[in-house]
Structure 1
Amino acid sequence: MSARTGVRRAAILAASASLALLAVPTATAAPAGLDGPALAKKLTKDVQVEAVNRHLIAFQRIAERNGGNRAAGTSGYDASVDYVAGKLRAAGFDVTTPEFTYPVQVYDATTAKVGSTSYEALPMEYSPQTPVGGVTGPLRVVAEDGTPGCEAEDFAGQDFTGSIALIRRGSCTFDIKHRNAAAAGAIGVLVANNAPGPLGGVTLGQPGVVPTGGVSQADGTALAARAGEAVTVDLRFHEEEKVSRNVIAQTRTGREDNVVMAGAHLDSVEEGAGINDNGTGSAGLLEAALRLGGSPKVNNAVRFGWWGAEELGLVGSTKYVQSLSFEQQLDIALYLNFDMIGSPNAAYFVYDGDDSDGVGAGAGPYGSAQIEKAFTDYLTAEKGVQTEGTDFTGRSDYGEFIAQGIPAGGLFTGAEQIKTEAQAAKWGGRAGVAYDPNYHGAGDNLGNVDRVALERNSDAAAWVIASYAISTEDVNGVPARSSRAAVRASARTFHVAEHHSHAEAS
């Protein structure tokens, strides 16, 4: 992101305000300001939203030239890798693009049939397959409340035994929805999109318990009108191994046994260019790397990762972490994740490292709480933005880092979940609308990004990355330098007092 767009920063921010779903922040008290290392102050100043936006333009044009997307296994993804790697090499980084293999589901059967009408149902990754000919049962529709299928109570009042459950997407993971349905007795699950378009390229995140497929928003509505009728769901596929690449870049300076790592996934879904998901995280991270440079004056080396095949199940980041020995994993002090940092109806979420919200997966490994505080402190003190926690749901690339005990954290502006009235009052934007109505759709393009949120989060990323490049003491459980100085001062005072006491006694 070192090149300029030729458009003044004020013009870009003004243009972004015209977006229909832009989150306009409510009035807040002036930020108090935050003390921090000189490098953090400089990097935050140097990372400009115009340059971040230039990278988004590049990603959009790459998609336009390559069939409309930048999905894993496509020429658009390969061009994205070349763009990012080329910029980093020019900035003096040690850059590699390690290959990894990943399984691709090739569909053999994708139907949900009621009577003589067939609807497209795309098997989710990790879904069990149906037998040839499918499974048949009465269609039971889960009521569309604010959290459809997310609680066991959503399945009360109907007999789901031997049924096919139809659930609207939103508010919780596909895995939770399908497990709740299976626990109620369903033998198959259809999840209907909550935005226009098909529901493909998504994952349960772990091996499922009953066949589960995604249908479009329109087909979901049509199916719901046929509740109670017999439906046959046929979801079958085979897997083929394909090859993709990550981009890994590390500074030539700093300790290599206490590395600060930051990452973002570079691939899009097949439905669109993926400019928010995850062009924004990739672009913000790239500009921070370019402004930092390949040989900065840091105590700890900084390693950046752009992950491939995230949309196919976090494959690139998982393969990378698993490729490291325990000692190599031990060299990584922490991992920072940036996935969707410019959603058009933006929230300001920081991963809940200490589980203070008491929701979902629990706390991250030791050090994650300190990372959460670093981001929250910056956004509050420097940007005047109140943040909320977001659970480590396993939906992004921090997953394998956490699984191996590496502390993690990061930023997120929301996907398909719905913004509440309280959040709209706090952050602006529209209540009752998804944080990103274009999530995994063709509308995820250059025109649907909140550049105010993008600027704030890019700055926060720069601040925290640079701060940890100077010191990771709090994450590693070591008292801060000021604290150690105070301990030494107290010790000196004690020894002086003890000396005086002995002198008086003698």
Structure 2
Amino acid sequence: MGQTRRTWGRRTLAATIAVTLAVVAAPPAAQASPGSISSWALRQLVTANGVMKHLKELQRIADRHGGSRASGSPGYDASVDYAERVFRRAGYRTSRQAFDFQTFLINSPSELERTAPAPAGPLPHRIMSYSGSVDATAPVTLPTGDPQGCAAGDFGPANVGTIVLISRGACPFGQKGRNAAAAGAAAAVVYNNTTGDLAGTLGNDYTLDFGVVGITQALGQELAAQVDDGLTLRLHTDTYRGQARTENLFAESRWGDPDNVVMAGAHLDSVAEGPGINDNGTGSAAILEIADKMRWFPTRNKVRFALWGAEEANLVGSTRYIADLPQAERDRIALYLNFDMVGSPNYVRFVYDGDNSAFPPGTGSAAGPPGSGAIEKLFHDYFASQRLDSAETPFSGRSDYGPFIAPGVDIPAGGLFTGAEGIKTPEQAAVYGGTAGVSYDPCYHQACDTIDNVSKKAVGEMSDAIAHAIITYAWDTRSLSTPPAGPTGGTTAPAGEGGGLHDHEVEI
């Protein structure tokens, strides 16, 4: 039986390739229905097992390098080397872009403890990226002004020498930390203003030796109620911040119109805390699997794959790429597709809301450049064609598509996402399965983001959708210039505040 299955698989693969090559050799048919037959053929070749093979290799790399693949570390460098070998074996021209950035490393696990009143003991928390080091036991106070602590005047003499408990909202986390430090506080704890963990960043320009951690809204409210009862906390953080060097990796097809480039990318780096197999090994592995199988598809447009470095340091790699790219080269990029976390264990099929049709002003989402709505519709239409539900998630610029859609750059963009620290609703659980009341990825930005933290089912569904989009636009990008006909939204309610926002929370 095993031999029969292997033979069947080889024959199916060979037949698929033969059909594909016949199709792509017939330009009139491909033009009449751009990408449709090629999409089917490519999706036969792209498999969840193929993506998982790359994920297992990224896990092995992390295991050999201290459990992390963070930019600037040997684990990241080995990840780049591996990915480049995959691209080169598939026949792509590869290049690297090196750059310096401010790195953040955790020397030892952070600790947050309640020392008084009872019950004393450790408290769940998440260290903010770029936090300074601190070891303080002190009484807890609230800001003397606005609880969000966005102005220097929100802190006063009562906060001196204390650990200040600050609400999320209205301004960047780094601004809250700077204000508290300037007022003479010993450290700061920021509590969420919605459900779910708070895994934020103070920004790679935050250099104060002042510790800041995040906690849930429920714990924050509990602690705030104890302030008048003499609440005392101990906070310990031990971190390193300094200059490091890292790289972006690019792979470009040897065929296709160089004046009409279809870009698809994912960040390859993890956070320092763990191996980053879902975030964002899954996006990177899907790109590698699709690029490998697209060797058989000499498409009309040039295809450029990007694996970004230092995304977890606030989109440094993609920002550097766009900043260094001459205007003439920017003009050659027809669109950019981004895939950041596509295997979350408690997943939803999220599509970036490119035309911002689902989110009101003030939610952090905005319409992308013209053409972004068409990309959104392509993904929703694909899922509908497979009888799969999908939902919108804010187009907030919180992943590597952000620099592409920035004012003055204005490259159409879109992409997919399966959820991070946001909480799955009962309505979503009823449609997508999984568990309501639990985050989409309970190991988001943690050491437990290993190969065991990935849904193979999600990987299979999302990699097929990614393959469909890339091959469709690799044949024809004309739909980007035509306003979408009909609704662009998904089949279920969009993700709201805290629901599936992949935060790189220098924002609020």
Does TM, scored on the shorter chain, surpass 0.5? yes
Match of 1:373 among 372, 377, 380: 377
Structure 2 CA distance, aligned partners of 1:223 and 1:74? 37
Match of 2:463 among 446, 458, 465: 458
Q: In the superposition, relative to structure 1, how do residues 478 and 258 fare at CA in structure 2: closer, same or farther (>3 Å)?
A: farther
Structure 1 CA distance, aligned partners of 2:176 and 2:262? 37
Conserved 8 A contact 1:139-1:231: no
Structure 2 CA distance, aligned partners of 1:248 and 1:445? 25
Q: In the superposition, relative to structure 1, how do residues 57 and 237 fare at CA in structure 2: closer, same or farther (>3 Å)?
A: closer
Q: In the superposition, relative to structure 1, how do residues 78 and 417 fare at CA in structure 2: closer, same or farther (>3 Å)?
A: same
Could you say which residue in structure 1 is the equivalent of 2:90?
A: 91
Equivalent residues in 2 for 1:221-240 (5 A)?
227-228=227-228, 229=231, 239-240=241-242
- For these two proteins, the number of residue pairs brought into alignment is 423
Equivalent residues in 2 for 1:17-416 (5 A)?
36-105=35-104, 122=127, 124-125=129-130, 138-140=140-142, 162=156, 165-166=164-165, 175=172, 189-191=188-190, 202-204=200-202, 213-214=212-213, 227-228=227-228, 229=231, 239-293=241-295, 296-358=297-359, 359-382=363-386, 384-403=387-406, 404-416=409-421
Q: CA deviation at 1:231?
A: 6.7
Runs of at least 5 residues in structure 2 that lack an aligned partner in the other structure? 1-5, 10-32, 486-508
Superposed CA offset, 1:40-92 (max 9, x none): 22112210111111111111111111111211122211111111100110111
Q: Output the TM-score relative to the length of structure 1.
A: 0.71
Could you say which residue in structure 2 is the equivalent of 1:420?
A: 425
Q: CA deviation at 1:232?
A: 9.2
Conserved 8 A contact 1:97-1:248: yes
Could you say which residue in structure 2 is the equivalent of 1:503?
A: none
Conserved 8 A contact 1:348-1:387: yes
Conserved 8 A contact 1:193-1:214: no
Greater radius of gyration (CA): 1
Equivalent residues in 2 for 1:442-453 (5 A)?
442-453=447-458
Structure 2 CA distance, aligned partners of 1:289 and 1:106? 32
Conserved 8 A contact 1:140-1:160: no
Q: CA deviation at 1:176?
A: 7.2
Structure 1 CA distance, aligned partners of 2:50 and 2:284? 12
Task: State the one-letter code of the partner of 1:342.
Answer: G
Task: State the one-letter code of the partner of 2:297.
Answer: P
Q: In the superposition, relative to structure 1, how do residues 81 and 343 fare at CA in structure 2: closer, same or farther (>3 Å)?
A: same
Q: CA deviation at 1:161?
A: 5.1
Task: State the one-letter code of the partner of 1:439.
Answer: Y
Counterpart secondary structure, 2:453: coil
Q: CA deviation at 1:352?
A: 0.4
Conserved 8 A contact 1:266-1:306: yes
Q: In the superposition, relative to structure 1, how do residues 369 and 176 fare at CA in structure 2: closer, same or farther (>3 Å)?
A: farther
Q: CA deviation at 1:167?
A: 6.3
Q: CA deviation at 1:393?
A: 2.6
Whether 1:474 and 2:479 are equivalent positions in the alignment is yes
Runs of at least 5 residues in structure 1 that lack an aligned partner in the other structure? 1-5, 10-33, 142-151, 481-506
Task: State the one-letter code of the partner of 2:54.
Answer: H
Task: State the one-letter code of the partner of 2:451.
Answer: L
Conserved 8 A contact 2:174-2:201: no
What is the percentage of aligned positions where both structures have the same residue?
A: 43
Conserved 8 A contact 1:174-1:204: no
Q: CA deviation at 1:205?
A: 5.4
Counterpart secondary structure, 1:104: strand
Q: CA deviation at 1:297?
A: 2.1
Instruction: Give the CA RMSD over aligned residues.
Output: 4.4
Could you say which residue in structure 1 is the equivalent of 2:497?
A: none
Structure 1 CA distance, aligned partners of 2:207 and 2:367? 26
Task: State the one-letter code of the partner of 1:227.
Answer: V
Q: CA deviation at 1:479?
A: 10
Task: State the one-letter code of the partner of 2:51.
Answer: V
Conserved 8 A contact 1:190-1:215: yes
Structure 1 CA distance, aligned partners of 2:135 and 2:435? 45
Structure 2 CA distance, aligned partners of 1:356 and 1:180? 34
Q: CA deviation at 1:209?
A: 13
Counterpart secondary structure, 2:101: strand
Q: In the superposition, relative to structure 1, how do residues 392 and 212 fare at CA in structure 2: closer, same or farther (>3 Å)?
A: farther
Q: In the superposition, relative to structure 1, how do residues 98 and 209 fare at CA in structure 2: closer, same or farther (>3 Å)?
A: closer
Equivalent residues in 2 for 1:421-436 (5 A)?
421-436=426-441
Q: In the superposition, relative to structure 1, how do residues 392 and 121 fare at CA in structure 2: closer, same or farther (>3 Å)?
A: closer
Structure 2 CA distance, aligned partners of 1:461 and 1:108? 37
Structure 1 CA distance, aligned partners of 2:35 and 2:41? 10
Structure 2 CA distance, aligned partners of 1:192 and 1:80? 35
Q: Output the TM-score relative to the length of structure 2.
A: 0.71
Structure 1 CA distance, aligned partners of 2:444 and 2:434? 16
